[in-house]
Amino acid sequence: MLALRLTHAARPAVQLRRLLVAAASAGTGFLLLSALGYAMSHPETPGAAALRLAWCVVPVAAAVHLALAVARTDPGTRPRPGLSAVGLGPARLMAVSALTTALSCTLGSLLALLLFLHLRGDLTGLPFYGTAADFLAADQSLPVPAALTLLTLLPAIASATVALALRPRDPHPTTGRPARTFGRFGAYGHSPRKETFGAYGRFGARLGMRGSGTGGRGSGTASGKADDGAQPAGDAPGRRTAGADGGAPVLNAVTDPEPPAPDTGWAAALPGNRPSRAAAGLPWGVATLAAGLAVQAYTGGSAAVPALADLPVDAVAVLVGWIIIAVGLVLASPGLTDLCGRLLQAGRPGALRLLAGRVLMAEATRLGRPLGVLCAVASAGYAMAVLYEGPAPAFGPLTTLGALLVTGCTVATLLTAAVEARQSRADTTAALLRLGAPAAMLRSAAALRAAALLALFGPFTLVIADLAALPRAH
């Protein structure tokens, strides 16, 4: 009931995104049911039917990705102050978000079932003069358990993915015991502080460690040795503490840290100088891309093997190769987005370039993954267009529906990720406007980010598509 109320009270933009999820679910469900109808009408070729069902993995993945992006940007299930007091904690909001996704996907599956039954002629007469009856098995009874299993596949996967991605996480993870560290000459302890050069050899520098019980020798304090006069005041670095008899202050070289240098540590605190988490996946992405291109090159000259129940092995290899290439692009795109932000700030950047570059670096992971999926879809479409022979290749209705579904879901996911990034920067944008930044500069920075991403990912997509289609073109 709470999920229904939150769904009903949402804004029109949120409702539009949920309707996009329902439309993607409807298209994917219709493709799955069409694969079932083809298998029923062609029982002599189970390999081709299995291949049609395997190709439905791509639109299912695109629809699940869109559902996850929409769930992330849903303002109704976002944690807010005071909700935990009425029983709406992070776990409850995660469950509500998963239930909302399941409702949207179930609505789309029901629409797909109604359309499938209408085209088969189960509800009314055969439409379009019965042209769709050959691949929908209109002359056979529909197996209800198989149809329901295929229709519940997408809602179950989408809701489970949303629940896994939005699960509550502990912001303060527990830390274990401090690791035992070893110092000079085999001395050991638990202090993470490093000694400076020559600190061990100074007279009286280890008296505080002997009294503190480090290493298991005694439980006294460092001030107990202060009245001996054995530790000069200026030998060891640290702050001066008063002795036990109120005499001259002495130094504790173990517990008192050295005063930091005035210019150390400030450069590492800047966002542009910290090691980026988005760039960590770039080597793995390049390696996965190379593996996918190797699979495409290995199967480039191979032919189908008719002995395996008419299963086109070449098409299966193409599907596996493109899946590996897509995974590589998704892994490498956040690092490329971070690199694009760094290139915008190269040289002596002004305020516009600096703002655009820092935003790209901050949103590299959020925007990079949908960009990688879009590059994979675009490169696959370009390669398929190159491999087709003839001036005007003929595409069937199911192929056209699948291509439109995957492309639409990918573009919608990228736009939804951009909306999520804009929502996360709402406080920063408001602060810049309060400081007097013109709104035209913010719009120019957004246009500059889009142009920079297009200039980097456009040629990159064309190169990947040419390399993937090169073995089969020759």
Q: Tens of pLDDT along 346-374?
A: 888 888 999 999 999 988 888 999 999 99
> What residue type is assigned to position 275 of the chain?
P
Tell me if 263 is assigned to some domain: no
> Is 280 in contact with 270 (CB distance < 8 Å)?
no
Among residues 168, 192, 222, the one where a domain terminates is 168
Residue 409: which domain range?
Answer: 276-474
Tens of pLDDT, residue by residue, the chain (474 residues): 655 665 566 678 888 898 999 999 999 999 999 889 888 888 888 888 888 888 888 899 999 999 999 998 887 666 666 666 666 677 788 888 889 899 999 999 999 999 888 888 777 766 655 556 666 777 788 888 999 999 999 999 999 999 998 887 765 554 555 455 555 555 555 454 555 555 555 555 555 544 444 444 444 444 444 444 444 444 444 444 444 444 444 444 444 444 444 443 333 434 444 446 667 788 888 999 999 888 888 775 444 433 333 344 456 677 788 889 989 999 999 999 999 999 998 888 888 999 999 999 988 888 999 999 999 999 888 877 766 554 444 567 888 888 899 999 999 999 999 888 888 888 888 888 898 888 899 999 999 999 999 999 999 999 998 888 776 655
Tell me if 194 is assigned to some domain: no
Tell me if 462 is assigned to some domain: yes
Q: How many domains does the chain have?
A: 3
Quote the CA–CA distance of 404 and 388 in Å, as a whole number: 18
> Is 13 in contact with 92 (CB distance < 8 Å)?
no
> How much is the pLDDT for 47?
80
Quote the CA–CA distance of 204 and 209 in Å, as a whole number: 10
Same domain, 352 and 446: yes
Same domain, 213 and 156: no
Same domain, 363 and 416: yes
Cβ-Cβ contacts under 8 Å for 28 (sequence gap 6 or more): 56, 59, 60, 63, 108, 112, 154, 405
> How much is the pLDDT for 92?
80
Same domain, 249 and 291: no
> How much is the pLDDT for 469?
78
> How much is the pLDDT for 127?
61
> Is 60 in contact with 28 (CB distance < 8 Å)?
yes
Whole-number CA gyration radius for the chain: 32
Among residues 168, 199, 232, the one where a domain terminates is 168
Beta bridge partners, 181, equal: 189
Same domain, 136 and 281: no
pTM of the model: 0.71
Tell me if 193 is assigned to some domain: no
Quote the CA–CA distance of 345 and 150 in Å, as a whole number: 49
Same domain, 423 and 359: yes
Tell me if 192 is assigned to some domain: no
Quote the CA–CA distance of 22 and 108 in Å, as a whole number: 4
Same domain, 233 and 164: no
Same domain, 288 and 374: yes
Strand 240-241 with 250-251, pairing: antiparallel
Quote the CA–CA distance of 307 and 316 in Å, as a whole number: 15
Tell me if 373 is assigned to some domain: yes
Same domain, 367 and 465: yes
Same domain, 2 and 125: yes
Q: Which two tokens stand for residue 452?
A: 């920079």
Tell me if 265 is assigned to some domain: no
Same domain, 439 and 318: yes
Same domain, 448 and 305: yes
